[in-house]
Structure 1
Amino acid sequence: MSDTDQVTLGKRELALPRKPQRRNGREKYEKLLDTLESLLSEREASEITLADLSEAAGVPTASIYHFFPSKDAALTALAERYFDTNFRQDAFRPAATEYTSWQELVCLVSERALSYYQSNSSMQKLRFGPNATWAIRDLIMGNNQRLAEVMFEACSRSFLLPDSNDWHSRFLLAVGISDAFWAMSYSRYGRITGELVSESKRATIAYLKMYIGELLERRTG
């Protein structure tokens, strides 16, 4: 392994939390994440230090570093709780009775995903803010893949899709289009505006329409 690879590996390890195995360690770990969430609701991630977390949680600094070798590791741990542990695909899967077209289906899944991200101000900052680490970006990509699976499965269950081996990647790109509009809106305005939500839907539908077409025949039986 080259010196450059070792430095890169070291930086990556610093961005990852050390998850405890024992019960008392897990309880302290969760307490720290609760405290970090509270701090992040009031400040930007760039304004928070591990010393702030130690003081607010009433936990010795040495204990903070035991779990989080860096602030990025603490933010990654909180993102894992939002974007992995608490992310349930069933919550975004619409019932067949809720839509009459593939366009409505896609919009429903997008709306529910956005509502989930907007339900918590700390989650929004981690999801769309400028301080996302590579580890958080990996978590975001994982969520996008799961949303794409929800869209594809619901669409293929309800409609007769044209034959293709690329549907998973098509729907993943569609989710990515919406995501890009949301991130741009948050970066520009500090929130996700209704106008750019509408634009994201139009862009996503326009992209998928190139491969799906305007109308899909509904499955029967």
Structure 2
Amino acid sequence: MRRGARITPTQKRSRERMERILSVATELIAATGSDAMRMSEVAERSGISIGSLYQYFPDKRAIIAALAERYHETSRACISEDLADVQTLGQFRDAFSALIETYYQLFLEQPAMRDVWSGTQADKTLLDIELLNSRENGDLVASTLAKLMPAADEAALATKAFLVMSLGEATMRLAISVTPEEGRLIVETYKRMALKELTSK
């Protein structure tokens, strides 16, 4: 079940309805922001009654939580896949840089992501979801580095990776809020700083 959702859709029709709700919500957030999104408009554009919408999501926060979890799932899948075959620190540097580029492109191509992430900052429950995501992504990075640097302190690696992945979220929000030229410089600076810290012994 997605975090915040009231029911777990098992039938095809229910799954399709939930996907439609989340798709409509994404479009509305991209157009006007999460603050302006109204449950009544989500229901209307999804072609369902407001009562049916509340059966899936009790409030707007639950929709944002579900979208945040969807983005989390995408990021975890990318990290797992790209780090799976890493055997050397050189390969790790290349893979990590590619991951940051992929994530940056996701933010650029999906403007709703920025607003969803911004919405998580003002809500304790949603912020906990983001922190969990950063920790899980950090664990993936730390476990890879532990294999490449067996003499390194694993607890220190975990802390550094957690911090780097958490700062990555803030970096992307900042990078797409400024000019493309400055955004590119911010991303490149983050990659250099992150890799220097992650691979230092």
TM over 0.5: yes
The partner residue of 1:110 within 79, 82, 100 is 100
Q: 1:58-115 deviations in whole A, cap 9, x for unaligned?
A: 2111111222222111221222223237841423426437862655454344334434
Partner of 2:41: 52
1:165-204 to 2 correspondence within 5 Å? 165-186=155-176, 188-189=177-178, 193-204=183-194
The partner residue of 1:96 within 67, 82, 86 is 86
Structure 2: 5+ residue stretches without partners: none
Measured in 2, the distance between the counterparts of 1:73 and 1:97 equals 40
Does 2:9 align with 1:18?
Answer: no
Which of 150-159 and 89-98 deviates more? 89-98
1:39-188 to 2 correspondence within 5 Å? 39-84=28-73, 87-88=76-77, 89-93=79-83, 95-96=85-86, 100=90, 103-127=93-117, 129-130=118-119, 132=121, 133-186=123-176, 188=177
- Does the CA contact (< 8 Å) of 1:18 and 1:67 recur in 2? yes
| Alpha-carbon offset, residue 53 of structure 1 | 0.6
Which of 200-209 and 26-35 deviates more? 200-209
Measured in 1, the distance between the counterparts of 2:102 and 2:38 equals 33
What code does the residue aligned with 1:72 have? R
When residues 86 and 181 of structure 1 are mapped into structure 2, their CA distance, relative to the original with a 3 A threshold, is: closer
Give the count of matched residue pairs: 195
Which of 149-158 and 94-103 deviates more? 94-103
Structure 1: 5+ residue stretches without partners: 1-14, 214-221
Partner of 1:6: none
- Does the CA contact (< 8 Å) of 2:174 and 2:183 recur in 1? no
TM-score by length of 1: 0.70
- Does the CA contact (< 8 Å) of 2:5 and 2:56 recur in 1? yes
Measured in 2, the distance between the counterparts of 1:29 and 1:71 equals 14
Taking only the aligned residue pairs, the percentage that are identical comes to 16
TM-score by length of 2: 0.76
The partner residue of 1:32 within 6, 21, 25 is 21
| Structure having the higher Rg | 1
What code does the residue aligned with 2:168 have? S
